[in-house]
Structure 1
């Protein structure tokens, strides 16, 4: 079964210690759960296993034309200057090595499947199983698992490579996803199976 490891929203605006969320509850959880270190370890294992790797980021063009004005998640981005494509904030964190040929997806909503090229890229690669992780668990991870499940992909979440704004939010999100995916960790995952 052909697989991909999709790394979700691990961009500077959300996970870098020097970014706008660095001192927020989300940033605290990224550090407390060692999400960056665990993700880097999982990424290394995926590369060694020879499976495809993909990076998803949320980003908006100059002037934020794609940004939904009434969204509780995104409507504050223009005023805060968040998620501007081509800027440091939308770059994937430097601890996660990107390579030519990696799947790259820019999204304008929570789900990486919505109005993006993700499904076409997965189809071209013959992907059947998606391993995924990222921030936050209650947003992009949930959306990816549910949308991937409904598109007939086998979904696997690397639990220790995810976090939310609070321990409880992460735990609740993982519990609600249990029916739609398998769960593993960066230490236990076997990308070659």
Structure 2
């Protein structure tokens, strides 16, 4: 297994929309990022980064406008030298971005997913990863939705799937180093 961690939408532009469920995962993501860096697992941030007139704002409040502080990763999870930051304009981190080619150039075969929202951007990215022939591990303690029951519904639905695993970060690190 050659994994990379993809942290989705943990940006300043989303902070005004953070609920307790979102804030609760920040320490878990931070710890996971630190462990990945120590193990040489690439850390990739996939961030909302929209144009002012983006089509998506027909049904979403404007946020994360390209060129503003809103597209930056929140202070608690700031990228470090060697981390990769990818801008995205749609839910999936794969859709019309450099994520696929970046993963392939790094020799990655497994995508670890962290971030928000489990039922939207995380799930869309997971499906596109599997469709692009990557194994997926959704780190359930590093992902959240605005409602806990939505997050739990998604994680329960996919637990036990072969190409799309749902594990806690501790379960992943035990499996990876074991």
TM-score normalised by L of structure 2: 0.89
Per residue, is there more helix in 1 or in 2? 2
Q: Distance in 2 between matches of 1:59 and 1:145?
A: 19
2:11 is the counterpart of 1:52: no
Is this contact kept in 2: 1:103–1:121, CA < 8 A? no
The answer on 1:151 being equivalent to 2:132 is: yes
Which of 132, 146, 153 in structure 2 is aligned with 1:172? 153
What count of residue pairs does the alignment treat as equivalent?
174
Alignment partner, residue 29 of structure 1 = 21
Instruction: Give, in whole Å, the separation in 2 of the partners of 1:174 and 1:189.
Output: 15
Cα drift, residue 165 of structure 1: 1.4
CA–CA distance in structure 1, aligned partners of residues 77 and 172 of structure 2: 18
1:42 aligns with: 32
- Structure 2 CA distance, aligned partners of 1:127 and 1:154? 9
Q: In the alignment, is residue 136 of structure 1 matched against residue 128 of structure 2?
A: no
Secondary structure of 2:170's partner? coil
Q: Provide the C-alpha distance between the structure 2 equivalents of 1:173 and 1:132, rounded to a whole number of angstroms.
A: 13
SS in 1 for 2:7: strand
Equivalent of 1:189 in 167, 172, 175: 172
Moved more, 104-113 or 93-102: 93-102
Deviations 1:131-165 (A, max 9, x none): 11110000111111111111111111110111111
1:92 positional shift:
0.4
| TM-score of the pair, normalised by structure 1 | 0.82
Question: After TM superposition, which residue ranges in structure 1, 4 or more long, deviate above 6 angstroms?
Answer: none
Two-structure CA RMSD over aligned residues (Å) = 1.8
* Superimposed CA distance per residue, residues 5-60 of structure 1 (whole angstroms, 9 cap, x where no aligned partner): 1111111122x3xxx214xxxx22113xx210110011111011111110000111
Q: Which runs of 5+ in 2 are unaligned?
A: none
Name 1:117's counterpart in structure 2: 98
Structure 1 segments unaligned to the other structure (5+ residues) = none
1:76 Cα deviation from its structure 2 partner: 4.6
